[in-house]
A and B are shown apart, each in its own frame.
Chain A
Amino acid sequence: QQQVKQSPQSLIVQKGGISIINCAYENTAFDYFPWYQQFPGKGPALLIAIRPDVSEKKEGRFTISFNKSAKQFSLHIMDSQPGDSATYFCAASSSGSRLTFGEGTQLTVNP
């Protein structure tokens, strides 16, 4: 019940395209859903996060869509750029406790 399932495992997108990564969870007590971005040789860094009281959050080219009833959330990267090539992790937690991470998605944006 603590798992967060992430898909796809890898994604290749052309420059200017839309990248979409999906996550699903089971634990209805989760109340915080962040996305982390990790470049090779670096630690993960927070990209954007959402709480279940809203269905969408947008920051620049990055948008989280949240579907509470389906227990799913997704990351959309608009106008994808080669510099967005990285590994993306979704995560979830409840009441500020430990984060449960998804398996990660390796995104490659071709020029």
Chain B
Amino acid sequence: DAGVIQSPRHEVTEMGQEVTLRCKPISGHDYLFWYRQTMMRGLELLIYFNNNVPIDDSGMPEDRFSAKMPNASFSTLKIQPSEPRDSAVYFCASRGTGAFVDTQYFGPGTRLTVL
């Protein structure tokens, strides 16, 4: 199993540009989570999906952020327009369903720098 795959691994962009982060969850997992990690705020949950449906997006900071999951094997997190304060590491994680299946598996992250 390849694990959770994220792309790109690094993204440098200028303020005002659109940024799209991509995630491929582990095959068979039906939960997908997007997190943001910064020194100041730690690990924050932005949004999570179950069976491709957004369940809780209360962590999405503002309307500039949007996330989609068009199918079970792909999700995107889009920031438009990007701002310097969006600079962070963004992680995608996936999880299966079933008794005592709680482990979230994290991807390697995308380090975003907005100049």
Q: How far is the CB of A3 from chain B (nearest CB, A)?
A: 11
**With an 8 A cutoff between CB atoms, is A46 at the interface?**
yes
Q: Give the chain B neighbours of A98 by CB distance below 8 A.
A: 33, 45, 48, 56
A46-B103 in contact given A98-B33, A98-B48, A98-B56 (Cβ < 8 Å): yes
Q: Give the chain B neighbours of A42 by CB distance below 8 A.
A: 108-109
Contact of A89 with B43 in the complex, beta carbons under 8 Å: yes
Q: Which of A67-103 contact B (CB under 8 A)?
A: 89, 93, 96, 98-99, 101-103
Interface residues of A, count at CB 8 A: 19
Q: What number of A-B contacts does a CB cutoff of 8 Å give?
A: 43
Residue of B nearest to A104 (CB): B42
Q: Give the chain A neighbours of B56 by CB distance below 8 A.
A: 98
27 A-B residue contacts at CB 8 Å?
A: A34-B102, A34-B103, A36-B106, A41-B109, A42-B108, A43-B93, A43-B106, A43-B107, A43-B108, A43-B109, A44-B43, A44-B91, A44-B106, A45-B105, A45-B106, A46-B103, A46-B104, A46-B105, A93-B102, A96-B102, A98-B45, A98-B48, A99-B104, A101-B43, A103-B42, A104-B42, A104-B43
Nearest 4 CB-CB pairings of A with B: A43-B106, A101-B43, A32-B102, A103-B42
Which residues from chain A sit less than 8 Å from chain B, CB to CB?
Answer: 32, 34, 36, 41-46, 49, 89, 93, 96, 98-99, 101-104
Q: A41-B108, A96-B101, A99-B104 are in contact. List 19 more A-B contacts (CB 8 A).
A: A32-B102, A34-B102, A36-B106, A42-B108, A42-B109, A43-B93, A43-B108, A44-B43, A44-B106, A45-B105, A45-B106, A46-B105, A49-B103, A96-B97, A98-B48, A98-B56, A101-B42, A101-B43, A104-B43
